[in-house]
């Protein structure tokens, strides 16, 4: 009886890790693990944010066209990933629940970054 409970607990734990890993890395992303994917998304966000800041400083972002909405969407969607990176750099311990929330938010963050980049690309190439 005890062996059966231990076996079920072990299988449940393994399944939880497997599902969390599968859910966090899209099949067509080109990444085999969450860490690589999350790092790439984080770096991409930093590049897009830097580009956005330079265009803002040069006053090249129009008031219309959804730029502010896209920026706000990107900021909201990437909030957990940014918090994760901040905690990681501060060597803070993070619970598995927080890590799981981050894993499930990365794909949405990635999508919002791509939308912001598309808008910026259109801005620089013209309509």
Left, alpha or beta for 66 (phi > 0: left; psi -120 to 50: alpha)? left
Confidence band for 122, pLDDT divided at 50, 70 and 90? confident
Please give the backbone phi and psi of residue 38, each rounded to the nearest 5 degrees, phi first.
-65, -40
Confidence band for 2, pLDDT divided at 50, 70 and 90? very low
Beta-carbon contacts of residue 95 (< 8 Å; ≥ 6 apart): none
What would the pLDDT profile of 32-63 be if each residue is shown by its tens digit? 777 788 889 999 999 999 999 999 888 888 88
Q: What is the pTM of this model?
A: 0.75
What would the pLDDT profile of 81-96 be if each residue is shown by its tens digit? 999 999 988 999 989 8
């Amino acid at each position: 009886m005890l062996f059966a409970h231990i076996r079920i607990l072990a299988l449940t734990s393994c399944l939880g890790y497997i599902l969390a890993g599968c859910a966090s890395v899209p099949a067509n992303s080109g990444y085999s693990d969450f860490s690589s994917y999350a790092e790439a998304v984080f770096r991409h966000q930093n590049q897009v944010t830097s580009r956005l800041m330079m265009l803002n400083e040069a006053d090249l972002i129009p008031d219309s066209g959804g730029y502010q909405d896209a920026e706000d969407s990107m900021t909201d969607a990437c909030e957990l990933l940014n918090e994760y990176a901040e905690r990681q750099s501060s060597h803070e311990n993070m619970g598995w629940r927080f890590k799981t929330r981050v894993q499930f938010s990365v794909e949405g963050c990635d999508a919002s970054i791509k939308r912001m980049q598309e808008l910026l690309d259109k801005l620089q190439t013209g309509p």
